[in-house]
Structure 1
Protein backbone atom coordinates (compact mmCIF):
# COMPACT_ATOMS: atom_id res chain seq x y z
CA UNK A 1 0.00 0.00 0.00
CA UNK A 2 0.87 3.69 -0.07
CA UNK A 3 1.22 5.36 3.33
CA UNK A 4 0.97 9.16 3.49
CA UNK A 5 2.80 10.26 6.63
CA UNK A 6 2.69 13.71 8.21
CA UNK A 7 6.05 14.95 9.46
CA UNK A 8 6.85 17.75 11.96
CA UNK A 9 6.46 21.28 10.63
CA UNK A 10 9.28 22.47 12.88
CA UNK A 11 9.63 20.82 16.27
CA UNK A 12 10.80 17.20 16.00
CA UNK A 13 9.02 16.51 19.29
CA UNK A 14 5.76 16.58 17.32
CA UNK A 15 6.66 13.37 15.50
CA UNK A 16 4.07 10.74 16.38
CA UNK A 17 4.94 7.27 17.65
CA UNK A 18 3.29 5.84 14.53
CA UNK A 19 5.56 7.94 12.31
CA UNK A 20 8.70 6.77 14.09
CA UNK A 21 7.55 3.14 13.89
CA UNK A 22 6.79 3.55 10.18
CA UNK A 23 10.24 5.05 9.53
CA UNK A 24 11.90 2.21 11.41
CA UNK A 25 10.00 -0.41 9.41
CA UNK A 26 10.03 1.23 5.96
CA UNK A 27 11.78 -0.46 3.06
CA UNK A 28 10.93 2.31 0.56
CA UNK A 29 10.31 6.02 1.16
CA UNK A 30 9.14 8.40 -1.57
CA UNK A 31 10.29 11.80 -0.33
CA UNK A 32 9.89 15.36 -1.52
CA UNK A 33 13.56 15.98 -0.67
CA UNK A 34 15.65 12.92 0.21
CA UNK A 35 18.23 15.06 2.04
CA UNK A 36 15.57 16.40 4.41
CA UNK A 37 14.30 12.86 4.95
CA UNK A 38 17.81 11.73 5.86
CA UNK A 39 18.01 14.55 8.42
CA UNK A 40 14.61 13.52 9.79
CA UNK A 41 15.77 9.94 10.23
CA UNK A 42 18.89 11.11 12.02
CA UNK A 43 17.02 13.63 14.16
CA UNK A 44 14.56 10.99 15.35
CA UNK A 45 17.32 8.48 16.02
CA UNK A 46 16.02 6.02 13.41
CA UNK A 47 18.71 3.51 12.48
CA UNK A 48 16.81 2.05 9.51
CA UNK A 49 18.18 2.98 6.09
CA UNK A 50 15.36 2.41 3.58
CA UNK A 51 15.54 3.00 -0.15
CA UNK A 52 14.84 6.69 -0.81
CA UNK A 53 13.05 7.85 -3.95
CA UNK A 54 12.63 11.49 -4.92
CA UNK A 55 8.97 12.44 -5.49
CA UNK A 56 8.51 16.17 -5.93
CA UNK A 57 6.53 18.70 -7.94
CA UNK A 58 8.77 18.36 -11.00
CA UNK A 59 8.64 14.58 -11.37
CA UNK A 60 5.51 13.37 -9.57
CA UNK A 61 3.32 12.95 -12.64
CA UNK A 62 6.00 10.96 -14.42
CA UNK A 63 6.92 8.80 -11.42
CA UNK A 64 3.44 8.20 -9.98
CA UNK A 65 2.89 5.09 -12.08
CA UNK A 66 6.21 3.57 -11.01
CA UNK A 67 5.55 4.27 -7.34
CA UNK A 68 2.07 2.75 -7.56
CA UNK A 69 3.49 -0.34 -9.27
CA UNK A 70 6.05 -0.65 -6.49
CA UNK A 71 3.30 -0.28 -3.89
CA UNK A 72 1.70 -3.47 -5.22
CA UNK A 73 4.77 -5.34 -3.97
CA UNK A 74 5.70 -3.49 -0.79
CA UNK A 75 4.53 -0.62 1.40
CA UNK A 76 5.72 2.78 0.19
CA UNK A 77 5.96 5.53 2.80
CA UNK A 78 5.36 8.99 1.29
CA UNK A 79 6.80 12.08 3.00
CA UNK A 80 6.82 15.78 2.18
CA UNK A 81 9.41 18.13 3.69
CA UNK A 82 7.00 19.11 6.47
CA UNK A 83 3.36 18.49 7.30
CA UNK A 84 0.93 16.34 5.35
CA UNK A 85 1.75 15.16 1.82
CA UNK A 86 -0.72 16.35 -0.86
CA UNK A 87 -1.60 19.57 1.06
CA UNK A 88 0.26 22.17 -1.02
CA UNK A 89 2.93 19.46 -1.34
CA UNK A 90 3.54 16.49 -3.66
CA UNK A 91 1.24 13.50 -3.40
CA UNK A 92 -2.01 14.40 -5.13
CA UNK A 93 -1.12 12.85 -8.49
CA UNK A 94 0.22 9.76 -6.74
CA UNK A 95 -2.97 9.24 -4.73
CA UNK A 96 -5.13 9.79 -7.81
CA UNK A 97 -3.11 7.21 -9.74
CA UNK A 98 -3.28 4.73 -6.86
CA UNK A 99 -7.04 5.20 -6.57
CA UNK A 100 -7.52 4.63 -10.30
CA UNK A 101 -5.54 1.38 -10.10
CA UNK A 102 -7.18 0.10 -6.93
CA UNK A 103 -4.03 0.34 -4.79
CA UNK A 104 -4.72 1.01 -1.11
CA UNK A 105 -3.78 4.42 0.30
CA UNK A 106 -3.75 5.10 4.03
CA UNK A 107 -2.64 8.00 6.23
CA UNK A 108 -0.53 8.50 9.33
CA UNK A 109 -2.02 11.82 10.51
CA UNK A 110 0.00 14.47 12.23
CA UNK A 111 1.19 18.08 12.09
CA UNK A 112 -0.38 20.51 9.63
CA UNK A 113 0.68 24.13 9.24
CA UNK A 114 -2.79 24.99 7.90
CA UNK A 115 -4.72 23.75 10.93
CA UNK A 116 -2.07 24.92 13.41
CA UNK A 117 -2.19 28.47 12.08
CA UNK A 118 -5.97 28.46 11.95
CA UNK A 119 -6.21 27.32 15.56
CA UNK A 120 -3.90 30.03 16.88
CA UNK A 121 -5.15 32.82 14.62
CA UNK A 122 -8.00 34.03 16.80
CA UNK A 123 -10.26 34.07 13.74
CA UNK A 124 -13.34 31.96 13.04
CA UNK A 125 -12.54 28.26 12.69
CA UNK A 126 -15.97 26.76 12.05
CA UNK A 127 -15.58 27.12 8.29
CA UNK A 128 -12.40 27.87 6.35
CA UNK A 129 -10.79 27.54 2.94
CA UNK A 130 -7.15 26.81 2.13
CA UNK A 131 -5.81 28.88 -0.77
CA UNK A 132 -2.18 27.74 -0.75
CA UNK A 133 0.47 29.98 -2.31
CA UNK A 134 -0.65 33.04 -4.25
CA UNK A 135 0.85 33.79 -7.70
CA UNK A 136 4.27 35.44 -7.61
CA UNK A 137 3.51 38.11 -10.22
CA UNK A 138 1.77 41.18 -8.80
CA UNK A 139 -1.00 41.35 -11.41
CA UNK A 140 -1.85 37.67 -11.13
CA UNK A 141 -1.75 37.88 -7.34
CA UNK A 142 -4.25 40.73 -7.27
CA UNK A 143 -6.53 38.87 -9.67
CA UNK A 144 -6.43 35.82 -7.39
CA UNK A 145 -7.25 37.96 -4.35
CA UNK A 146 -10.10 39.71 -6.14
CA UNK A 147 -11.60 36.29 -6.90
CA UNK A 148 -11.90 35.54 -3.17
CA UNK A 149 -12.63 39.04 -1.87
CA UNK A 150 -16.24 38.13 -1.06
CA UNK A 151 -15.40 34.71 0.43
CA UNK A 152 -17.27 34.51 3.77
CA UNK A 153 -15.10 31.74 5.23
CA UNK A 154 -11.77 32.28 6.97
CA UNK A 155 -8.97 31.95 4.40
CA UNK A 156 -5.54 30.39 4.91
CA UNK A 157 -2.60 31.22 2.63
CA UNK A 158 1.07 30.24 2.46
CA UNK A 159 3.57 32.93 1.52
CA UNK A 160 7.31 33.34 1.15
CA UNK A 161 9.09 35.89 3.37
CA UNK A 162 10.43 37.71 0.31
CA UNK A 163 6.86 38.45 -0.83
CA UNK A 164 4.94 38.81 2.43
CA UNK A 165 5.07 42.62 2.56
CA UNK A 166 3.74 42.95 -1.01
CA UNK A 167 1.09 40.30 -0.43
CA UNK A 168 -0.21 41.95 2.74
CA UNK A 169 -0.31 45.31 0.94
CA UNK A 170 -2.31 43.75 -1.90
CA UNK A 171 -4.65 42.09 0.59
CA UNK A 172 -5.23 45.42 2.34
CA UNK A 173 -5.99 47.03 -1.02
CA UNK A 174 -8.33 44.28 -2.26
CA UNK A 175 -9.96 43.09 0.97
CA UNK A 176 -9.92 46.43 2.79
CA UNK A 177 -7.41 47.81 5.27
CA UNK A 178 -9.60 47.00 8.27
CA UNK A 179 -10.04 43.28 7.50
CA UNK A 180 -8.69 41.20 10.41
CA UNK A 181 -5.80 38.82 9.73
CA UNK A 182 -3.03 36.88 11.43
CA UNK A 183 0.47 36.06 10.23
CA UNK A 184 2.08 32.99 11.82
CA UNK A 185 5.85 32.78 11.55
CA UNK A 186 8.04 29.76 12.28
CA UNK A 187 5.21 27.71 13.81
CA UNK A 188 6.34 25.23 16.52
CA UNK A 189 9.95 26.46 16.22
CA UNK A 190 12.11 28.35 18.70
CA UNK A 191 11.32 31.78 17.26
CA UNK A 192 7.60 31.22 16.69
CA UNK A 193 5.66 34.47 16.32
CA UNK A 194 1.96 35.16 15.85
CA UNK A 195 1.10 38.68 14.64
CA UNK A 196 -2.59 39.63 14.78
CA UNK A 197 -4.30 42.81 13.66
CA UNK A 198 -5.92 44.55 10.74
CA UNK A 199 -4.31 44.14 7.34
CA UNK A 200 -3.15 47.75 7.55
CA UNK A 201 -1.43 47.01 10.87
CA UNK A 202 0.18 43.89 9.49
CA UNK A 203 1.50 45.81 6.48
CA UNK A 204 3.38 48.03 8.94
CA UNK A 205 4.54 44.96 10.89
CA UNK A 206 6.07 43.44 7.76
CA UNK A 207 7.66 46.65 6.48
CA UNK A 208 10.98 46.01 8.20
CA UNK A 209 11.36 42.56 6.68
CA UNK A 210 10.20 39.14 7.82
CA UNK A 211 12.10 35.86 7.93
CA UNK A 212 11.03 32.26 8.26
CA UNK A 213 8.15 30.12 7.08
CA UNK A 214 4.83 31.95 7.02
CA UNK A 215 1.13 31.18 7.12
CA UNK A 216 -1.39 33.99 6.63
CA UNK A 217 -4.92 33.63 8.00
CA UNK A 218 -7.50 36.20 6.85
CA UNK A 219 -11.02 36.73 8.17
CA UNK A 220 -13.83 36.06 5.76
CA UNK A 221 -15.79 38.89 4.19
CA UNK A 222 -18.66 40.33 6.18
CA UNK A 223 -22.12 39.44 4.80
CA UNK A 224 -23.28 41.82 2.09
CA UNK A 225 -26.39 43.88 2.67
CA UNK A 226 -28.84 42.28 0.25
CA UNK A 227 -32.61 42.65 0.32
CA UNK A 228 -34.37 39.51 1.53
CA UNK A 229 -36.33 39.15 -1.71
CA UNK A 230 -33.15 39.31 -3.78
CA UNK A 231 -31.56 36.72 -1.49
CA UNK A 232 -34.50 34.37 -2.02
CA UNK A 233 -34.16 34.84 -5.78
CA UNK A 234 -30.50 33.90 -5.51
CA UNK A 235 -31.44 30.71 -3.64
CA UNK A 236 -33.85 29.75 -6.41
CA UNK A 237 -31.24 30.50 -9.07
CA UNK A 238 -28.80 28.17 -7.36
CA UNK A 239 -31.36 25.38 -7.16
CA UNK A 240 -31.88 25.64 -10.91
CA UNK A 241 -28.20 24.78 -11.35
CA UNK A 242 -28.65 21.57 -9.39
CA UNK A 243 -27.79 22.75 -5.88
CA UNK A 244 -30.07 21.34 -3.16
CA UNK A 245 -32.34 24.03 -1.73
CA UNK A 246 -31.04 23.48 1.80
CA UNK A 247 -27.45 23.93 0.62
CA UNK A 248 -28.40 26.93 -1.52
CA UNK A 249 -30.10 28.60 1.43
CA UNK A 250 -27.03 28.02 3.61
CA UNK A 251 -24.70 29.44 0.94
CA UNK A 252 -26.80 32.57 0.43
CA UNK A 253 -27.11 32.96 4.20
CA UNK A 254 -23.31 33.10 4.47
CA UNK A 255 -23.17 35.75 1.76
CA UNK A 256 -26.02 37.94 2.99
CA UNK A 257 -26.51 37.34 6.71
CA UNK A 258 -30.17 36.38 6.28
CA UNK A 259 -31.43 33.34 8.21
CA UNK A 260 -30.88 30.02 6.45
CA UNK A 261 -34.23 28.76 7.74
CA UNK A 262 -36.14 31.82 6.56
CA UNK A 263 -34.48 31.74 3.15
CA UNK A 264 -35.27 28.05 2.77
CA UNK A 265 -38.92 28.46 3.73
CA UNK A 266 -39.42 31.50 1.50
CA UNK A 267 -37.75 29.83 -1.49
CA UNK A 268 -39.79 26.68 -0.94
CA UNK A 269 -43.00 28.72 -0.82
CA UNK A 270 -42.12 30.43 -4.11
CA UNK A 271 -41.20 27.14 -5.75
CA UNK A 272 -44.44 25.48 -4.66
CA UNK A 273 -46.40 28.42 -5.96
Structure 2
Protein backbone atom coordinates (compact mmCIF):
# COMPACT_ATOMS: atom_id res chain seq x y z
CA UNK A 1 0.00 0.00 0.00
CA UNK A 2 2.87 2.40 0.75
CA UNK A 3 4.38 1.78 -2.69
CA UNK A 4 0.98 2.05 -4.38
CA UNK A 5 0.22 5.37 -2.68
CA UNK A 6 3.70 6.87 -3.07
CA UNK A 7 3.66 10.30 -4.72
CA UNK A 8 6.32 9.32 -7.29
CA UNK A 9 4.29 6.25 -8.26
CA UNK A 10 1.18 8.40 -8.67
CA UNK A 11 3.09 10.75 -10.99
CA UNK A 12 4.60 7.93 -13.04
CA UNK A 13 1.39 6.04 -13.85
CA UNK A 14 -1.74 7.36 -15.54
CA UNK A 15 -3.88 4.78 -13.81
CA UNK A 16 -3.43 2.75 -10.62
CA UNK A 17 -5.54 -0.35 -9.93
CA UNK A 18 -5.69 -2.54 -6.83
CA UNK A 19 -7.45 -5.91 -6.84
CA UNK A 20 -7.68 -8.43 -3.98
CA UNK A 21 -7.62 -11.88 -5.60
CA UNK A 22 -7.27 -14.50 -2.81
CA UNK A 23 -8.04 -18.19 -3.31
CA UNK A 24 -10.41 -18.15 -6.29
CA UNK A 25 -8.63 -16.98 -9.45
CA UNK A 26 -11.81 -16.30 -11.42
CA UNK A 27 -10.82 -14.30 -14.51
CA UNK A 28 -14.27 -12.78 -14.97
CA UNK A 29 -14.40 -11.67 -11.33
CA UNK A 30 -10.88 -10.23 -11.48
CA UNK A 31 -11.73 -8.21 -14.60
CA UNK A 32 -14.87 -6.96 -12.86
CA UNK A 33 -12.76 -5.87 -9.86
CA UNK A 34 -10.26 -4.13 -12.14
CA UNK A 35 -13.14 -2.18 -13.66
CA UNK A 36 -14.45 -1.36 -10.20
CA UNK A 37 -11.01 -0.05 -9.20
CA UNK A 38 -10.75 2.02 -12.40
CA UNK A 39 -14.23 3.53 -12.37
CA UNK A 40 -15.42 3.18 -8.76
CA UNK A 41 -18.59 1.70 -10.25
CA UNK A 42 -20.05 -1.80 -9.92
CA UNK A 43 -20.44 -3.79 -13.15
CA UNK A 44 -22.75 -6.68 -12.30
CA UNK A 45 -24.66 -8.95 -14.69
CA UNK A 46 -22.17 -8.52 -17.54
CA UNK A 47 -20.51 -11.35 -19.47
CA UNK A 48 -16.73 -11.63 -19.74
CA UNK A 49 -16.59 -10.19 -23.26
CA UNK A 50 -18.59 -7.14 -22.14
CA UNK A 51 -16.36 -6.65 -19.10
CA UNK A 52 -13.27 -7.10 -21.28
CA UNK A 53 -14.42 -4.39 -23.68
CA UNK A 54 -15.11 -1.94 -20.86
CA UNK A 55 -11.75 -2.70 -19.24
CA UNK A 56 -9.92 -2.12 -22.52
CA UNK A 57 -11.60 1.27 -22.78
CA UNK A 58 -10.16 2.17 -19.38
CA UNK A 59 -6.57 1.00 -19.92
CA UNK A 60 -5.94 1.50 -23.64
CA UNK A 61 -3.17 4.01 -24.27
CA UNK A 62 -2.55 4.51 -20.53
CA UNK A 63 0.48 3.55 -18.50
CA UNK A 64 -1.09 1.64 -15.65
CA UNK A 65 0.01 -0.07 -12.45
CA UNK A 66 -2.10 -3.10 -11.54
CA UNK A 67 -1.61 -4.71 -8.12
CA UNK A 68 -2.98 -8.25 -7.81
CA UNK A 69 -2.96 -8.81 -4.07
CA UNK A 70 -2.79 -12.22 -2.34
CA UNK A 71 -2.68 -14.50 -5.40
CA UNK A 72 -2.75 -18.28 -4.87
CA UNK A 73 -3.40 -19.43 -8.43
CA UNK A 74 -0.96 -22.07 -9.73
CA UNK A 75 -2.86 -22.75 -12.96
CA UNK A 76 -0.79 -21.20 -15.77
CA UNK A 77 -3.69 -21.31 -18.25
CA UNK A 78 -5.82 -19.05 -16.06
CA UNK A 79 -2.98 -16.57 -15.75
CA UNK A 80 -2.39 -16.57 -19.52
CA UNK A 81 -6.10 -15.94 -20.06
CA UNK A 82 -6.03 -12.92 -17.77
CA UNK A 83 -2.71 -11.53 -19.02
CA UNK A 84 -3.95 -11.64 -22.62
CA UNK A 85 -6.68 -9.17 -21.61
CA UNK A 86 -4.19 -6.73 -20.09
CA UNK A 87 -2.00 -6.01 -23.13
CA UNK A 88 -3.69 -2.79 -24.19
CA UNK A 89 -1.90 -0.43 -21.84
CA UNK A 90 0.88 1.94 -22.86
CA UNK A 91 4.51 0.83 -22.76
CA UNK A 92 5.78 0.91 -19.19
CA UNK A 93 2.62 -0.51 -17.65
CA UNK A 94 3.37 -2.83 -14.74
CA UNK A 95 1.63 -5.69 -12.94
CA UNK A 96 2.69 -6.20 -9.32
CA UNK A 97 1.67 -9.47 -7.66
CA UNK A 98 1.75 -10.31 -3.96
CA UNK A 99 1.67 -14.00 -3.09
CA UNK A 100 2.75 -16.47 -0.43
CA UNK A 101 3.23 -19.19 -3.06
CA UNK A 102 6.54 -19.65 -4.86
CA UNK A 103 4.73 -21.66 -7.55
CA UNK A 104 2.25 -18.83 -8.15
CA UNK A 105 5.15 -16.39 -8.62
CA UNK A 106 6.87 -18.80 -10.99
CA UNK A 107 3.92 -19.45 -13.31
CA UNK A 108 3.21 -15.72 -13.57
CA UNK A 109 6.65 -15.18 -15.08
CA UNK A 110 8.11 -12.96 -12.38
CA UNK A 111 10.98 -10.84 -13.72
CA UNK A 112 13.81 -11.11 -12.83
CA UNK A 113 12.92 -13.09 -9.71
CA UNK A 114 10.43 -12.79 -6.85
CA UNK A 115 11.23 -10.25 -4.15
CA UNK A 116 10.93 -12.08 -0.86
CA UNK A 117 9.69 -9.92 1.98
CA UNK A 118 11.96 -10.28 4.98
CA UNK A 119 11.01 -10.07 8.65
CA UNK A 120 11.82 -7.06 10.79
CA UNK A 121 15.28 -6.48 12.18
CA UNK A 122 15.68 -7.74 15.75
CA UNK A 123 15.67 -4.25 17.25
CA UNK A 124 12.58 -3.22 15.28
CA UNK A 125 10.82 -6.46 16.26
CA UNK A 126 11.45 -5.79 19.93
CA UNK A 127 10.35 -2.14 19.64
CA UNK A 128 7.08 -3.24 18.02
CA UNK A 129 6.45 -5.87 20.68
CA UNK A 130 7.12 -3.38 23.50
CA UNK A 131 4.67 -0.93 21.95
CA UNK A 132 1.97 -3.59 21.70
CA UNK A 133 2.55 -5.52 24.96
CA UNK A 134 3.73 -3.16 27.68
CA UNK A 135 1.93 -0.47 29.59
CA UNK A 136 4.03 2.69 30.22
CA UNK A 137 6.91 1.80 32.57
CA UNK A 138 5.95 -1.87 32.80
CA UNK A 139 9.03 -3.08 30.91
CA UNK A 140 11.45 -1.41 33.32
CA UNK A 141 9.87 -3.03 36.37
CA UNK A 142 9.96 -6.67 35.29
CA UNK A 143 12.97 -8.41 33.75
CA UNK A 144 10.84 -11.57 33.72
CA UNK A 145 8.41 -10.00 31.25
CA UNK A 146 11.31 -8.78 29.12
CA UNK A 147 12.78 -12.30 29.00
CA UNK A 148 9.43 -13.85 28.02
CA UNK A 149 8.81 -11.08 25.50
CA UNK A 150 12.11 -11.62 23.72
CA UNK A 151 11.40 -15.35 23.56
CA UNK A 152 8.02 -14.58 21.98
CA UNK A 153 9.63 -12.28 19.40
CA UNK A 154 12.03 -15.06 18.37
CA UNK A 155 9.13 -17.50 18.07
CA UNK A 156 7.32 -15.01 15.84
CA UNK A 157 10.21 -15.01 13.37
CA UNK A 158 10.18 -11.18 13.31
CA UNK A 159 6.83 -11.25 11.44
CA UNK A 160 4.97 -7.99 12.28
CA UNK A 161 1.45 -9.46 12.31
CA UNK A 162 2.50 -12.26 14.67
CA UNK A 163 4.30 -9.84 16.99
CA UNK A 164 1.33 -7.46 17.09
CA UNK A 165 -1.18 -10.26 17.73
CA UNK A 166 0.70 -11.72 20.70
CA UNK A 167 1.73 -8.33 22.05
CA UNK A 168 -1.89 -7.16 22.10
CA UNK A 169 -2.95 -10.46 23.68
CA UNK A 170 -0.61 -9.90 26.64
CA UNK A 171 -1.15 -6.15 27.04
CA UNK A 172 -2.30 -5.21 30.54
CA UNK A 173 -1.69 -8.70 31.92
CA UNK A 174 0.31 -9.19 35.13
CA UNK A 175 3.43 -11.33 35.49
CA UNK A 176 1.51 -14.46 36.48
CA UNK A 177 -0.51 -14.31 33.24
CA UNK A 178 2.68 -13.94 31.19
CA UNK A 179 4.24 -16.93 32.94
CA UNK A 180 1.07 -18.94 32.37
CA UNK A 181 1.13 -18.03 28.67
CA UNK A 182 4.76 -19.14 28.41
CA UNK A 183 4.06 -22.49 30.09
CA UNK A 184 0.78 -23.32 28.33
CA UNK A 185 0.85 -21.60 24.93
CA UNK A 186 4.33 -20.67 23.76
CA UNK A 187 5.24 -24.23 22.77
CA UNK A 188 2.29 -24.29 20.34
CA UNK A 189 3.91 -21.61 18.18
CA UNK A 190 6.19 -22.86 15.42
CA UNK A 191 9.71 -21.46 15.51
CA UNK A 192 10.29 -18.75 12.94
CA UNK A 193 6.77 -17.39 12.64
CA UNK A 194 5.50 -20.27 10.50
CA UNK A 195 2.58 -20.91 12.83
CA UNK A 196 0.63 -17.74 12.07
CA UNK A 197 -2.67 -19.59 12.20
CA UNK A 198 -1.82 -20.98 15.64
CA UNK A 199 -1.01 -17.46 16.82
CA UNK A 200 -4.37 -16.14 15.61
CA UNK A 201 -6.11 -19.14 17.17
CA UNK A 202 -4.50 -18.28 20.50
CA UNK A 203 -5.79 -14.73 20.18
CA UNK A 204 -9.26 -16.06 19.37
CA UNK A 205 -9.35 -18.49 22.28
CA UNK A 206 -8.53 -15.66 24.68
CA UNK A 207 -11.54 -13.58 23.58
CA UNK A 208 -14.60 -13.58 25.82
CA UNK A 209 -17.56 -15.58 24.50
CA UNK A 210 -19.72 -12.73 23.17
CA UNK A 211 -16.73 -11.28 21.34
CA UNK A 212 -16.05 -14.70 19.78
CA UNK A 213 -19.62 -14.62 18.46
CA UNK A 214 -19.05 -11.18 16.94
CA UNK A 215 -15.90 -12.32 15.16
CA UNK A 216 -17.47 -15.59 14.00
CA UNK A 217 -20.36 -13.56 12.54
CA UNK A 218 -17.85 -11.85 10.23
CA UNK A 219 -17.46 -15.18 8.41
CA UNK A 220 -20.62 -14.17 6.53
CA UNK A 221 -18.49 -11.70 4.58
CA UNK A 222 -16.26 -12.93 1.72
CA UNK A 223 -12.50 -12.73 2.05
CA UNK A 224 -11.08 -9.21 1.59
CA UNK A 225 -14.58 -7.71 1.95
CA UNK A 226 -14.54 -4.00 2.81
CA UNK A 227 -17.22 -3.22 5.38
CA UNK A 228 -18.39 -0.15 7.27
CA UNK A 229 -17.72 -0.16 11.02
CA UNK A 230 -21.12 1.27 12.00
CA UNK A 231 -22.94 -1.23 9.78
CA UNK A 232 -21.07 -4.17 11.33
CA UNK A 233 -21.77 -2.97 14.87
CA UNK A 234 -25.47 -2.57 14.00
CA UNK A 235 -25.55 -6.17 12.74
CA UNK A 236 -23.95 -7.38 15.98
CA UNK A 237 -26.54 -5.45 17.99
CA UNK A 238 -29.39 -6.90 15.93
CA UNK A 239 -28.10 -10.42 16.66
CA UNK A 240 -27.90 -9.72 20.40
CA UNK A 241 -24.17 -10.43 20.57
CA UNK A 242 -23.14 -7.24 22.36
CA UNK A 243 -23.32 -7.03 26.15
CA UNK A 244 -22.52 -3.70 27.87
CA UNK A 245 -19.71 -3.83 30.43
CA UNK A 246 -21.63 -1.64 32.89
CA UNK A 247 -25.09 -0.16 33.43
CA UNK A 248 -23.87 3.24 32.27
CA UNK A 249 -22.51 1.92 28.96
CA UNK A 250 -24.88 2.00 25.98
CA UNK A 251 -25.12 -0.86 23.50
CA UNK A 252 -23.56 1.33 20.81
CA UNK A 253 -20.61 2.18 23.09
CA UNK A 254 -20.15 -1.50 23.93
CA UNK A 255 -20.26 -2.37 20.22
CA UNK A 256 -17.57 0.23 19.54
CA UNK A 257 -15.43 -1.33 22.29
CA UNK A 258 -15.95 -4.80 20.81
CA UNK A 259 -14.84 -3.57 17.39
CA UNK A 260 -11.71 -1.85 18.73
CA UNK A 261 -10.79 -4.96 20.72
CA UNK A 262 -10.92 -7.12 17.59
CA UNK A 263 -9.00 -4.47 15.67
CA UNK A 264 -6.29 -4.27 18.34
CA UNK A 265 -6.02 -8.07 18.38
CA UNK A 266 -5.26 -7.97 14.62
CA UNK A 267 -8.49 -9.65 13.50
CA UNK A 268 -9.25 -6.71 11.19
CA UNK A 269 -6.74 -5.18 8.78
CA UNK A 270 -6.36 -2.25 6.39
CA UNK A 271 -8.48 0.16 8.41
CA UNK A 272 -9.16 3.56 6.87
CA UNK A 273 -9.22 6.67 9.08
CA UNK A 274 -10.67 10.10 8.39
CA UNK A 275 -8.77 13.36 8.97
CA UNK A 276 -9.68 13.26 12.68
CA UNK A 277 -8.44 9.70 13.15
CA UNK A 278 -11.90 8.14 13.30
CA UNK A 279 -12.26 4.67 11.75
Same fold (TM over 0.5): no
Higher strand share: 1
Higher helix share: 2
Q: When the two structures are superposed, what TM-score results if normalisation uses the length of structure 2?
A: 0.28
> Bigger relative contact order, structure 1 or 2, given CA contacts below 8 A and separation 6+?
1
Q: When the two structures are superposed, what TM-score results if normalisation uses the length of structure 1?
A: 0.28
